Every structure is written in C-alpha cells, then in structure tokens.
Structure 1
C-alpha cells in the first residue's frame, strides 16, 4: 500500500489531480490496475489516503518543531530546531506540496491539510510568545506571519536543491530568520523596544 501511495504522490504532483489516472499510478508503482483496486477504489481514495498520511506527518513535525519549552535556547539554535523538522517533512514528501497546493484537488481533500499548514503561524507565535513574553499581540502575530513566509519562500529551493548543496540553503534560511528575529532580542528582558 505504501508503494501505491508513493506512486500516487508522484503522479498527482506531475500530472495534477484532474489529469492523473489510476492506470498511470499503477504503472508508476509497477503493479497492475487490478492490484491498485484491491487497495483503493479510485483516485479520490488514493488522494484521501495521501492527505491523511501528510496530515499525520505534518502534525508530528509540528510537535518536534514548535515546542515552547525550547524558547530560551540561543536564537540560532532555536531557529534551527524549528526549521529542521519542517524541512524534513517536506523533503520526505516532495509531491505533497504540489498536490495539495494545486487548484484541481477537491476542497474536501485539501481543507484539513491547509488548516494544518496555516496552524504553523500560530505555533510559531506560541514559541515567540514564550521567548518574548512582553511583546504586544499584534507585533507577535505579525512577526510569526513574516517568519513563516520567510521559511516558505526558501523551502522550495531547499527541497529542490541536490542533497550535496542543501545544507547551504538550510544555513541561509537559519541566518535569514535569525537576522529577522534578532531586533526582538531586547524584548526577552521585558522591554518591548
């Protein structure tokens, strides 16, 4: 079944949901269409299973990445602990972003995943609130949103870069986020400059 889901992720990402066929997915998996139908009734069932797998893996990455208990680590270490699990889940699931970000997948399949992805900003805000307890709520929410966008802007480059060069881009992402967050560091002592 994992083989079929992996194949479906590839086909959906390459062709889009609307143009993908169960025959193409079976071919990608190296099985007959009959074998595919033993496990999944149609491509929607495959997409539902992929959505559930992605939601589960994304939720696990959130747990690792956004622990308010790590908020007092040195800023570069904190940022690294937040970005690495999120980078890893995207590296392990390269087709999911293309699939669930496309406009041709039925909304009932994408809505829960989009909600989980949007929750990232809230989770970032939780960690920042623990690190900068005196920061006004509007500043906290804006900072979390911008930090999330910085991450998203470089994520595509990180995921598509050959493994031999990937660490360079992860370091750049870390530096960009540390550079953005550093002016807030005086807020750690209670002043909200």
Structure 2
C-alpha cells in the first residue's frame, strides 16, 4: 500500500521548523564559521533542544548541505538576472551596473554564503557545486568578452576573465566589510570603477562601434566611467 501523505498542518509546521533551524544555522555559521559551529549551538540559536534539531537533520553537515543548496539556487538566479542578453548589449558602464549589482546584492543579503562556501572543511558536495558555479560564471565572462572581441585568442580571453573575476572577488570582500549605507554604496561604486578602468582599454575599440548614447553631459558613446554612486543600492 502507498504511504498516506502527512496532514498539511503537520507538513507546514515541519517546514517552518526547518526554516527556523536554517536561519539559526545562518547566524551561527556567520558568527563562528562552519568549522567551529556545532549542532548544539544551532539548537540554542533556534531555541530548541538538540533532540528537536535531530528530528530534522542528523548532523551539521546535513544542515550545511540544505542551506548550501538553497543559497546556490539563489545565486544561480542572481546570475540569471545579471547575464541577460539585454544587459550584455548595454554600453560598458551600464553593463557593469546591470551585471555587478545583482551579484553584490545577493552577497550583501546572504553573508553566510561566503562563510559557508569558503570554509576549510565544508561538505564535499557543496564544494563541488560551488566550484561548478564558479566555473559557470567564468565561462559567462569569457563568452561576454567573446561578444566584444571574437578574434581574441582563447588563452588570452581566459586570462582576462580570470583577472576580472579576481578583481570582483577582492572588491566584493571590501564591499561586505563596509558598513551598510553610504560607505558600502561608495565601495560598490568604486569596485565598478576599477572594473571599468581595467576592461575599457581592452574592449574599448569594440564599444566604439556601438550606437551613441545620451548621458548627463550630452551625446556620447556610453563609455563614461561610472560615478561614485550605485545604480542599485544593496539591501538586506
């Protein structure tokens, strides 16, 4: 005989409890890091007994895997919002706003992402999925460079993509370390200025062929460096 489904009320209560435990794990991982975190600490943060926690998760690794799966799914959504054909057709400064802002916003809203993904002993499954996501992002950057510079040799394109991503990750660490508000906004804008100054000489000749756009100072080619303010303010 097939197993009867659980009553909806019981299912909803279980889903709420899982959400509470994952939220508690988020706080503990951010505060202590994955390695030092414990199921007892997560249970205390969730205001439940360890026995209650073990009804839903057998160990810390299972909690990390569930949380990591959800974060990676949201991160893929952020990539999808960033690397759209419409965004990639924009002039370089506007394109940087459109691509970088969703990625910054995701990381600002989910500081546990870096705490979990960069732990020294994170579960292998999460590490593998994170590495695959990292490789996918690099591929998107290489493909983007190929749109501007189709004749650029693949090794050189890969090097530029690696450097661009390294600059982004280094700047992102500064963005996350900045207090939320004007200081974080200014750091985000500065990161995009650095990316512009690096990429503009490389792809500038290709952008010269783009239709002229109007900016605050009148007609131009859309290659004015980003100002020290962000188009989209990261929010929590």
Aligned to 2:204: 185
**Aligned residues: CA RMSD:** 1.9
CA distance in 1, matches of 2:85, 2:141: 9
**Conserved? CA contact 2:96–2:192, under 8 Å:** yes
Q: Which has the larger radius of gyration?
A: 2
Regions of 4+ moved over 6 Å:
none
**Conserved? CA contact 1:134–1:187, under 8 Å:** no
Q: CA deviation at 1:187?
A: 3.1
**Conserved? CA contact 1:12–1:20, under 8 Å:** yes
Map 1:39-50 to 2 at 5 A.
Answer: 39-50=56-67
**Conserved? CA contact 2:87–2:99, under 8 Å:** no
Aligned to 2:126: 109
**Conserved? CA contact 1:71–1:131, under 8 Å:** no
CA distance in 1, matches of 2:66, 2:76: 15
CA distance in 2, matches of 1:149, 1:4: 33
CA distance in 2, matches of 1:17, 1:127: 34
CA distance in 1, matches of 2:192, 2:34: 34
Q: TM-score, normalised by structure 2?
A: 0.74
- Which residue, 179, 186, 194 being the options, matches 1:176? 194
Cα deviation 1:112-157 (Å, max 9, x = unaligned): 1122123211111122222333333222222111111110011111
- Structure 1: which 5+ residue stretches go unaligned? none
**Conserved? CA contact 1:72–1:131, under 8 Å:** no
Q: CA deviation at 1:188?
A: 4.2
